[in-house]
Amino acid sequence: MGKMKAVLGLRLGPGHDTGAALVCERDGELRCVAIAQERLSRQKNSREFPEHAIQACLGEFGLEPDQLDAVVFEKTNWAYGSKWYEQVPGAHWEHWTDPKERAFFASAAETPCYFANHHLLHAASAWHTTDWAMDGEPGALLVIDGRGSTWGDGKTGPGGQFHTFREMDAESTGEQSLEKIWKMVLFDHRVETQSIFVGRGRTIERKEVSLCSGVGLFYAWLTECVLGFGHMHAGKTMGLAAYGQSQSDLFEPFPDELFDGIDTDLMGYIYEHLRAGKDFRYRTNEDPTDPYFADAAAWGQRELLRAVMHLARRAIEQTGARRLGFAGGVALNVVANRQIHDELLDTGKIDDFFVQPAASDAGLALGAALFGYYNILEGIAPFQKNQVYLGPTRSAQDAAALLVEHGGKREQELIERVADLLLDGKIVGWFQGRSEHGPRALGARSILCWPRPDWMKDHINARVKHREAFRPFAPIVQEEHASEAFDADFAVPYMLVNTMVREQYRERIPAVTHADGSGRLQTVSSTSTPLLYDLLGEIRARDGVGVLLNTSFNDNGEPIVETVEDAIRCFQSTNIDALVCSDALIVKPE
């Protein structure tokens, strides 16, 4: 066996979405495995030490911690946040907050360990997973999220004001009501929220950073405080926006001067708005589609688009690049991504646009592993073509055999049998191969339905998903047929760009047509998920459209299933009608 290089990347707590990723070069070939801790612990948006994710990544390559060439990690920390990256003394680092952290780094005592900046690792995840680094031409990298690393001690030095919000008991604030209320809080902290980088070859250089509260925190405030959806539910706000009027008289546009430079301090403006005695309604038990709250969501989406487009244009201007990579939690906003595509890519202002599929903090471990391999160890092997199906192979081993043990059968005519079930209105769990890395179900851990019946959306919500009725479900279609039913003459493999369902198809696929006629599309190629591609082809041969409803394989409030055992448990505990694991099928009796 030739020389090996192996780097473990970690996203550590106390932040959300902890996880691990490992890149390993053997004989000139680079392979990768990545998984969020939540997929294995079954605790959504886990903040715990990612011990299960680490074990899965090391197990993929048969490695022990002391056999690694480097460990690179991200951890919100006062003393190190602003530094590009820095080697730290492993188990003896003074900033560990969890005994499990110290124990793990003690087991990797001979391995160099590095702390790295939050936004840097988002940028690395968007740069090093493309082939752009191979041609020597520059690429702009835009990172937008709620907050990243705290700079220095968080207080000293120049920088903007950081506005955030807290839920408090009214009693503690001197109010008469005992209900929970929201208070805007001004922190004199220096926290990165928006960054522009330029990538060239294997190097990544930061050009600008905002230390003010940015558009990501504004959208989080709107989601949690005004709309009452709680933490980590920005996708609900994006879905609700379709029901509102973005030009409502109730919500004024932000002044143009807020969109000038790297700072977009929308929260600072809201703070002054509240201090002036102007307040918002805060949803408790009201219907989210109440016109006030729907208009609030549409207003927030409109202002987010303004900020993202301003920052995307600035990234191109500041770097002189002809291509743009995007990461950070805001990069999961498919409406914003479509606007970048239409206004920058389609008009020739840029030549290429890539959004990291694991754009949220769940992708930081991948960015850490890649940064360690390319920028610390100076590796040269190109990243694998598979950018998203990065889960451990062990999770899918013996899938068919395990399902057979639970009453399933191997099907010689699997595609035809599943098509029969779908066209009969059945809900099918679909488990194939390695899991997707990131928040989207892309045909490896999916629930599938036929979107023709107008009752199907409510049907799957009532029987399986148990989520708000206003939230849309996603369509999937064979890549070469996407432009027939959707305004997409380009591939959308990772469900990261919004599309519109063509008028003549909206009554034919109502379950995946949102209130404004949009659909968060995924296009499927014969090479990415071949069995799903064949299934879509069979559906097309029968109904003349070839579109299915695709949603994540999980019940409401739990992570997407990872293992075969997870899939079987979800199948048994919900009203999913049938389950496919590899080439095995089980169908519940009528």
Confidence of residue 501 (pLDDT cuts 50, 70, 90): very high
> Could you tell me if 159 and 259 lie in one domain?
yes
CATH number for position 109:
3.30.420.40
Closest of 118, 137, 149, 129 to residue 199, by C-alpha: 137
- Looking up tokens 């003010």 gives 212
Residue 67 class from Cβ within 10 Å (0-12 exposed, 13-18 middle, 19+ buried)? middle
14 prior amide bond cis, ω within 30: yes
The upper half-sphere exposure of residue 560, i.e. CA atoms within 13 Å in the direction of its Cβ, equals: 26
Over residues 559-576, mean pLDDT: 96
> Could you tell me if 418 and 289 lie in one domain?
no
The SS3 of residue 100 is helix
> Could you tell me if 494 and 560 lie in one domain?
yes
> Could you tell me if 9 and 56 lie in one domain?
yes
Residues 336, 497 contacting (CB under 8 angstroms): no
Over residues 179-188, mean pLDDT: 55
Residues 122, 367 contacting (CB under 8 angstroms): yes
CA–CA separation, 261 vs 209, rounded Å? 10
Q: Is the pLDDT of residue 480 over 80?
A: yes
Over residues 156-162, mean pLDDT: 53
Number of domain units in the chain: 3
> Could you tell me if 284 and 169 lie in one domain?
yes
- Bridge partners, 586 (sequence order): 579
In DSSP notation, 309-370 reads HHHHHHHHHHH--SEEEEESGGGG-HHHHHHHIIIIITTTS-SEEEE-TT-SGGGHHHHHHH
Least confident of 82-96, 199-213, 337-351: 82-96
Structural domain includes residue 351: yes
**In what side-by-side order are the strands of the sheet with 522-524?**
409-410, 584-587, 578-581, 428-431, 445-449, 547-552, 474-478, 522-524
In DSSP notation, 178-243 reads -SEEEEEEEE---B--EEEEEEETTEEEEEEEE-S--HHHHHHHIIIIIS---TT-HHHHHHHGGG
Tokens for 388? 């998203």
Q: Is the pLDDT of residue 81 over 90?
A: no
Look at 174 and 32; give whichever has higher pLDDT: 32
Structural domain includes residue 41: yes
Over residues 50-56, mean pLDDT: 97
pLDDT > 70: percent of the chain: 92
Structural domain includes residue 226: yes
> Could you tell me if 200 and 311 lie in one domain?
yes
CA–CA separation, 572 vs 586, rounded Å? 11
> Could you tell me if 111 and 147 lie in one domain?
no
The alpha-carbon radius of gyration of the chain (Å, integer) is 24
Over residues 220-227, mean pLDDT: 92
Structural domain includes residue 185: yes
Over residues 269-297, mean pLDDT: 88
Tokens for 558? 């739990």
Tokens for 400? 């068919």
Confidence of residue 77 (pLDDT cuts 50, 70, 90): low
> Could you tell me if 574 and 453 lie in one domain?
yes
Structural domain includes residue 383: no
Domain endpoint, select from 312, 343, 376: 376
φ and ψ at residue 247, rounded to 5 degrees: -105, 25
Closest of 24, 20, 80, 25 to residue 51, by C-alpha: 20
Residues 57, 437 contacting (CB under 8 angstroms): no
| Plot region of 431 (φ>0 → left; ψ -120 to 50 → alpha; else → beta) | beta
> Domain span at residue 104?
4-121+364-376
The pLDDT of residue 159: 53
Residue 176 class from Cβ within 10 Å (0-12 exposed, 13-18 middle, 19+ buried)? exposed
- Bridge partners, 181 (sequence order): 168
| Plot region of 443 (φ>0 → left; ψ -120 to 50 → alpha; else → beta) | left
Count of C-beta atoms within a 10 Å radius of residue 178? 9
Render pLDDT for 358-386 as a digit per residue (tens, 0 to 9): 999 999 999 999 999 999 999 999 999 99
Residue 408 CA: distances (Å) to CA of 380, 463, 587: 45, 21, 8
Question: Parallel, antiparallel, or unpaired: how do β-strands 203-210 and 445-449 relate?
Answer: unpaired
Q: Is the pLDDT of residue 195 over 90?
A: yes
> Could you tell me if 463 and 553 lie in one domain?
yes
Render pLDDT for 422-479 as a digit per residue (tens, 0 to 9): 999 999 999 999 999 999 999 999 999 999 999 999 999 888 998 899 999 999 999 9
> Could you tell me if 345 and 438 lie in one domain?
no
Residues 395, 153 contacting (CB under 8 angstroms): no
CATH number for position 542:
3.90.870.20
Residues 471, 239 contacting (CB under 8 angstroms): yes
> Could you tell me if 371 and 503 lie in one domain?
no
Structural domain includes residue 381: no
Question: Parallel, antiparallel, or unpaired: how do β-strands 139-144 and 323-327 relate?
Answer: parallel
Structural domain includes residue 387: no
> Could you tell me if 336 and 414 lie in one domain?
no
Over residues 27-56, mean pLDDT: 95
pLDDT > 90: percent of the chain: 77
Q: Is the pLDDT of residue 11 over 80?
A: yes
Structural domain includes residue 386: no
φ and ψ at residue 56, rounded to 5 degrees: -65, -40
Residues 236, 289 contacting (CB under 8 angstroms): no
